[in-house]
Amino acid sequence: MKKYLLACLATLLLSCSVNDDDSLSSYQTLLPIESVDIPDTFELGEIYTITLFYIKPTNCHSFSDIYYSKDQNERTVSIISTVYTNTNCYEINATTEASFNFKATDPGVYKFMFWNGKDENNEDIYLNYDIPVIE
35 neighbors 125 (Cβ within 8 angstroms): no
Domain 25-134 top-level CATH class? mainly beta
Taking Cα atoms as reference points, which of 72, 44, 4, 35 lies closest to residue 132? 44
pTM of structure? 0.81
In order along its 135 residues, the chain shows pLDDT tens digits of 333 333 333 333 333 434 445 567 999 999 999 999 999 999 999 999 999 999 999 999 999 999 999 999 999 999 999 999 988 999 999 999 999 999 999 999 999 999 999 999 999 999 999 999 998
DSSP element (H, E) containing 10: helix 2-15
Q: What angle do CA 99, 129, 37 make, to 5 degrees?
A: 35
